Structure 1
Amino acid sequence: MSSYALIAEPDPARAAGLLSLLAGEGLEGVMARDGAEAQELVRRRGAPSLLVTDLSLPRLDGFALLTWLRERSDAAGTRVAVVTAFDELRVRAWQLKDVLGIDALLSRRASADLVRDTVRRVLSGQRAPLPAPAEPGAEQERLRLARIDSMRLVDEGPPEAELQELVTEVAQAFGVPVALLSLVLGDRQWFKAHVGLPPSLARARETPRDWSFCHHVVQGHESLVVPDAARHPVFRDNPLVRDGIIGSYAGAPLVTSTGEVLGSLCVIDTRPLVLGAEDLAALRELARRVAGDMEQRARARQGTRGMAREGARPETALTEESALALLRDAVRALDVPVLLVAPGRRPFACNGALADLLGLPAERIPGLSFEAFCQHVAGLTADPALTLRQLDLASESSRGFHLTLALESPRPRRLRWVARPFPVPGGVAQLLTLSDVGSPVSPRDERERLLRVDALTGLDTRRAGEERLWREIGRCRRDGVPCGVLLVDLVGLGRLNAERGFDAGDAVLRGVARRLEGLVAPSGFAVRWEGGTLLAALPGVDAAGAEAVRHRLHGVPGSPEVVSAAVAVEGEEDPQGTLTRAQAALAREKAGYRAARLG
Structure 2
Amino acid sequence: MADLGLEPVCVQDGKAARTTLTNHDEAPAVVMTELSLAGVDGFQLVREVRRHSPDTRIIVLSSFVTLRTKALEQKDMLDIQGILAKSAPLESIRRMLYRVLGIQPPEPTASATQPTPLPMLAPLESPSPSPTPTASPVSASTPILARERTRLAQIASMQLVDEGPPDEVLQGLVQETARAFNVPIALVSLVLEDRQWFKAHVGLSGKVLEERGTEREVALCAHVVEADRAEPLVVPDAATHPVFSSNRLVREGLFRSYAGAPLITSEGTVLGTLCILDHKPLAISAEQVDGLVALARRVAGELEFRAQLSKSQQALKLERSAHAVVRLQADVLAAALNGLEDAVVLFDHQRIILFANESMALLADRNASELIGMERHTFIRLLSSRFKDSLDFLRRILIPEEGPYVAREDFELKSSQRVLRWMSRPVAFADGHFGQLTTYRDVTNEVELARRRS
Q: Normalising by structure 2, what TM-score?
A: 0.66
Aligned to 1:106: 84
Tell me the CA shift for residue 292 of structure 1. 3.4
Confirm or deny: 8 A CA contact 2:195 2:214 kept in the other structure.
Answer: yes
Aligned to 1:54: 34
Partner secondary structure for residue 302 of structure 2: helix
Indicate yes or no: 2:68 matched with 1:90. Answer: yes
Tell me the CA shift for residue 326 of structure 1. 5.9
How far apart are the structure 2 equivalents of 1:319 and 1:327?
A: 6
Confirm or deny: 8 A CA contact 1:248 1:273 kept in the other structure.
Answer: yes
How far apart are the structure 2 equivalents of 1:24 and 1:346?
A: 42
How far apart are the structure 2 equivalents of 1:31 and 1:171?
A: 30
Confirm or deny: 8 A CA contact 1:167 1:180 kept in the other structure.
Answer: yes
Confirm or deny: 8 A CA contact 1:229 1:248 kept in the other structure.
Answer: yes
How far apart are the structure 1 equivalents of 2:202 and 2:61?
A: 33
Tell me the CA shift for residue 401 of structure 1. 6.8
Partner secondary structure for residue 156 of structure 2: helix
Task: For 1:351-430, list aligned pairs within 5 A.
Answer: 393-396=400-403, 398-399=404-405, 421-430=426-435
Confirm or deny: 8 A CA contact 2:429 2:435 kept in the other structure.
Answer: no
- AA aligned to 2:23 is R
Confirm or deny: 8 A CA contact 1:320 1:425 kept in the other structure.
Answer: no
Task: For 1:381-530, list aligned pairs within 5 A.
Answer: 393-396=400-403, 398-399=404-405, 421-430=426-435
Query: Which sections of structure 2, spanning at least 5 residues, go unmatched?
Result: 105-139, 332-344, 355-372, 382-393, 410-421, 439-454
Task: For 1:124-273, list aligned pairs within 5 A.
Answer: 124=102, 137-220=144-227, 221=229, 222-273=231-282
Query: Which sections of structure 1, spanning at least 5 residues, go unmatched?
Result: 1-21, 127-132, 307-313, 331-337, 350-365, 379-386, 404-416, 434-599
Confirm or deny: 8 A CA contact 2:175 2:186 kept in the other structure.
Answer: yes
Aligned to 1:79: 57
Indicate yes or no: 2:47 matched with 1:64. Answer: no
Q: More relative contact order in 1 or in 2 (CA 8 Å, sep 6+)? A: 2
How far apart are the structure 2 equivalents of 1:56 and 1:38?
A: 13
Q: 1:293 to 1:208 in 2, by over 3 A?
A: same
Confirm or deny: 8 A CA contact 2:232 2:259 kept in the other structure.
Answer: yes
User: Cα deviations across residues 194-241 of structure 1 (Å, max 9, x unaligned)?
Assistant: 111124212211111110111111111321100111110100111111
Aligned to 1:38: 17
Aligned to 1:119: 97
Confirm or deny: 8 A CA contact 2:309 2:428 kept in the other structure.
Answer: no
Confirm or deny: 8 A CA contact 2:300 2:405 kept in the other structure.
Answer: no
How far apart are the structure 1 equivalents of 2:188 and 2:296?
A: 9
CA RMSD of aligned residues (A): 4.3
User: Cα deviations across residues 56-106 of structure 1 (Å, max 9, x unaligned)?
Assistant: 01100011111122222xx11111111111111111111111221101100
Confirm or deny: 8 A CA contact 1:320 1:426 kept in the other structure.
Answer: no
Structure number with the higher helix fraction is: 1
How far apart are the structure 1 equivalents of 2:181 and 2:166?
A: 21
Partner secondary structure for residue 84 of structure 2: strand
Q: 1:66 to 1:401 in 2, by over 3 A?
A: closer
How far apart are the structure 2 equivalents of 1:101 and 1:70?
A: 8
Tell me the CA shift for residue 427 of structure 1. 2.3
- AA aligned to 2:279 is T
Q: 1:339 to 1:232 in 2, by over 3 A?
A: same
Task: For 1:532-571, list aligned pairs within 5 A.
Answer: none
How far apart are the structure 2 equivalents of 1:402 and 1:113?
A: 24
Partner secondary structure for residue 433 of structure 2: strand
Tell me the CA shift for residue 291 of structure 1. 2.0
Q: 1:418 to 1:117 in 2, by over 3 A?
A: closer
How far apart are the structure 1 equivalents of 2:93 and 2:256?
A: 33
How far apart are the structure 2 equivalents of 1:232 and 1:84?
A: 15
Confirm or deny: 8 A CA contact 1:252 1:287 kept in the other structure.
Answer: yes
How far apart are the structure 1 equivalents of 2:353 and 2:50?
A: 59
How far apart are the structure 1 equivalents of 2:10 and 2:2?
A: 13
Confirm or deny: 8 A CA contact 1:394 1:401 kept in the other structure.
Answer: no
| Percentage of identical aligned residues | 43
- AA aligned to 1:142 is R
Aligned to 2:284: 275
Aligned to 2:324: 324
Tell me the CA shift for residue 419 of structure 1. 8.3
Tell me the CA shift for residue 111 of structure 1. 0.8
Aligned to 2:413: none
Q: 1:218 to 1:197 in 2, by over 3 A?
A: same
Partner secondary structure for residue 299 of structure 2: helix
Tell me the CA shift for residue 430 of structure 1. 4.0
Confirm or deny: 8 A CA contact 2:173 2:299 kept in the other structure.
Answer: no
Partner secondary structure for residue 99 of structure 1: helix
Asked which structure has the greater CA Rg, the reply is 1
Q: 1:237 to 1:147 in 2, by over 3 A?
A: same
- AA aligned to 2:96 is T
Q: 1:272 to 1:290 in 2, by over 3 A?
A: same
Task: For 1:571-586, list aligned pairs within 5 A.
Answer: none
How far apart are the structure 1 equivalents of 2:436 and 2:14?
A: 39
Q: 1:340 to 1:63 in 2, by over 3 A?
A: closer
Confirm or deny: 8 A CA contact 1:189 1:212 kept in the other structure.
Answer: yes
